[in-house]
Amino acid sequence: MTSFSVNADDMDAIALGGAFLGTGGGGDPYIGKLMAKQVIASHGPVTVISADELPDDALCIPVCMMGAPTVMVEKLPNGEEAREALSQLETFLGRKADALICIEAGGLNSTIPYAVAAATGLPLVDGDGMGRAFPELQMVTLTIHGISATPMVLADDKGNSSVINAISNRWTERLARCQTVEMGGAALVALYPMSGAEVKRGILHGTMSLIKEIGETMAAERKASRNPAAALLKRLDGKRLFTGRVVDIDRRTVGGFARGKALFKGIDEDEGRSFEVEFQNEFLVCRDDDGLLAVTPDLICALDADGGLPVTTEQLRYGLAVNMIGLACDPQWSTPEGLELVGPRYFGYEHDYVPLNQMSR
């Protein structure tokens, strides 16, 4: 993989691709896209580099949003919180960062790092910690590889900030989630400070390139007046789950998460069938009348059946028609260690993980 440059116009495709891979989570990409465009226009393009280009002793830091995506729709970041979190973590560590990382491939969190990279002049690594979005901060491949989430800094829109040191990544999530709730349900964070050597072994490589490519594919299909679903299924070797219209939705913000369930009635070739999708920030389980169609850690991605744009959990509303697409997760997530972190039983479901390609329907 080679480095490439990202300018303000590229953020349209990156926001689209990130929102699609984000499985309904990661926050509204529109907000992050506007932030990144503005900063890139002022400071110049962002260089995205392969992890292989990093010296082993480089300091690399992910920056992201933590909290309920529903909150970010009404409580917009002012643009300084993520940079403040990064700056304070650098101060705590006594060293400046050499590169930034996306913690997840999803929505707002696939665009915020571009804004911070442009403002600081730091390169962004072509990779992330999930290959999708997950709701809790220990749910990254970095945890599988024994990399600590702390020291971590949280910053809010009011100017508050704090440093967390925790005994495990799970404890980091618990402590940071409490603070995020007190900060109004959303905070910007800098965490998982790691060396270049740890980045090379711990992240999922090439996801920033993939996000951009997915977004460009979506834009090209929409420009040709085609819904992108078919092209994405082919490019990503995905599985069509269903096409349906939302007939009921139960969504609430609880403990710093957007939790809920959406019910769909099938349309077009799925006429006469019923479907259910459960989410905790991200889409986690998809069922029809007969049972499971897809389940975490495999990706459940939603596209507006009319406009072809990605649909996040906070955008679901009565009457919206969607194409639901399933994608296989990165192989690391289907290992015993991965399933312990993000498998269905962790989220309280009483069934084991069944890979998408082994589902009977």
- pLDDT in the model for residue 72: 57
Question: Do 238 and 148 fall into the same domain?
Answer: no
Say whether both 9 and 131 belong to one domain: yes
SS3 197: helix
* DSSP code string of 21-87: HTTT-S--HHHHHHHHHHHHHHH-PEEEE-GGGS-TT-EEEEEEEEE-HHHHHHS---S-HHHHHHH
Total domains present in the chain: 2
Same domain membership, residue 232 and residue 144: no
Residue at a domain's end among 159, 177, 207: 207
d(C-alpha 153, C-alpha 186), whole Å: 13
Q: Report CA-CA distances (Å) from 244 to 78, 86, 277, 324.
A: 37, 42, 11, 8
Residue 102 DSSP one-character state? -
- Whether residues 24 and 107 share a domain: the answer is yes
**SS (HEC) of 223-242:** HCCCCCHHHHHHHCCCEEEE
**Which pLDDT score is estimated for 80?**
85
Question: What's the confidence (pLDDT) of residue 354?
Answer: 95
Determine the residue type at 99: A
The reported pLDDT for the residue numbered 31 is: 79
- What pLDDT is attached to residue 1? 59
Rg (CA), the chain: 19
Residue 196 shares a structural domain with residue 233: no
Looking at the DSSP bridge assignments, the partners of residue 61 are: 100
pTM above 0.75, yes or no: yes
pLDDT at 361: 60
Domain contains 217: no
CATH of the domain at 65: 3.40.1610.10
Q: In this structure, are 235 and 182 located in the same domain?
A: no
Q: Is residue 322 part of a domain?
A: yes
Q: Say what the pLDDT of residue 224 is.
A: 96
**Inside any domain, residue 212:** no
Separation of alpha carbons 266 and 269, rounded Å? 8
Q: Which residue has the tokens 């010296």?
A: 55
Q: Judge if 169 and 23 occupy the same domain.
A: yes
Helices (H), 164-206: 169-182, 196-202
pLDDT in tens for each of the 361 residues of the chain? 579 999 999 999 999 999 999 999 876 778 789 889 999 999 999 999 999 999 999 999 999 988 765 555 555 565 688 999 999 999 999 999 999 999 999 878 899 999 999 999 999 999 999 999 998 999 999 999 999 999 999 999 899 999 999 999 999 999 999 999 999 888 999 999 999 999 999 999 999 999 999 999 999 999 999 999 999 999 999 999 999 999 999 988 776 677 899 999 999 999 999 999 999 889 999 999 999 999 999 999 999 999 999 998 888 999 999 999 999 999 999 999 999 999 999 998 988 999 998 886 6
Give the domain CATH number at 240.
2.40.390.10
Judge if 160 and 289 occupy the same domain: no
Q: Which two tokens stand for residue 198?
A: 């740890």
CA 183/CA 312 separation, integer angstroms: 23
User: The domain containing residue 193 runs over which residues?
Assistant: 4-207
Residue 44 covered by a domain: yes
What was the pLDDT predicted at 77?
63
Q: Is there a single domain that holds both residue 174 and residue 31?
A: yes
Q: How many CB atoms lie within 10 A of CB 248?
A: 11
Beta bridge partners of 271: none
| pLDDT confidence of residue 73 | 54
